[in-house]
Amino acid sequence: MKKSFIVLAVMAIALAGAALAVPGNVTDSEGTTTIIGSRGIETTGTVNAEAGNVTQLTVADTTETQFWQGLFGTATVSIELSDGTNTFYSWPNNNPTGQLFFARSAINNWGNVVDSVSGNVLTEQNTNGMADNAFSIENLTSTYVDITHASFSVGGNAINSPTPGVNIDDFKALFLWDTGNTQGVYTAIINQSGTGYDGGTYDFEILLPTNGAAVASYYVYAQLS
């Protein structure tokens, strides 16, 4: 199965006077995705065999991942004064800081989202079918390993370094744990105008696992300021 890169542009809206203590939903109107592409089918190579010769052949094979989706993009945030239908005034911020969160089940209590440990990653790998091939070099526990990062808080819980995560170019993605839903919460840390995988300028990059056989849907949340 081919896995495509998807670019995600997120605009989070905070109502004037609302508390920003917990992440908010990113609705369909606030996030847009564009499929960039994936590895194409490679043409068959050839080698000449000639009688009387001994030839050295060095092979470096590259195959498409069966587990992972690459997501990257930009993020902005606006505070607005609205009557629920029409915007009276807005204060945009095109260079926010914060995090984006991706989870397969809706998160209703952010107090349940905590800093994870390696055992949580193993649980996700073993029980939820997400990048779960224990013998693969691309499995979940081989990809999300302890990395250093700046501390932040989610739902009143401190997320301190180190945390299972992955460094991707100029960006960091973390694996947090939702104790209520017993699931991983994949977290992209915003790094404004970082250099991405293709040399472009983005705000985040993250790896999201699938089960290797079907499309995995994720809820998206933003904690931006």
**Domain span including residue 18:** 5-38+66-224
How do residues 95-135 score in pLDDT, each as one tens digit? Answer: 999 999 999 999 999 999 999 999 999 999 988 777 887 77
pTM: 0.86
pLDDT more than 70, % of the chain? 88
Domains: count for the chain? 1
Helix, strand or coil, per DSSP, at residue 110: helix
pLDDT in tens, 147-199: 999 999 999 999 999 999 999 999 999 999 999 999 999 999 999 999 999 99
Q: Are 7 and 34 in contact, with CB atoms under 8 Å apart?
A: yes
- Lowest-confidence range among 68-72, 91-95, 131-135? 131-135
- Inside any domain, residue 131: yes
Please report whether residue 59 resides in a domain: no
Distances 45 to 39, 41, 53, 63, 79 between C-alpha atoms, Å: 17, 12, 20, 15, 56
Rounded-to-integer distance, Cα 40 and Cα 184, Å = 31
Is 56 contained in some domain?
Answer: no
In a domain, 51, yes or no: no
Q: What is the CA radius of gyration of the chain?
A: 21
Does 74 map to a domain? yes
- Assigned domain for 46 exists: no
Residue at 43 is within a domain: no
Tell me whether residue 86 is in a domain.
yes
- Token digits for 193? 């105008």
| Cβ(204)–Cβ(171) below 8 Å | yes
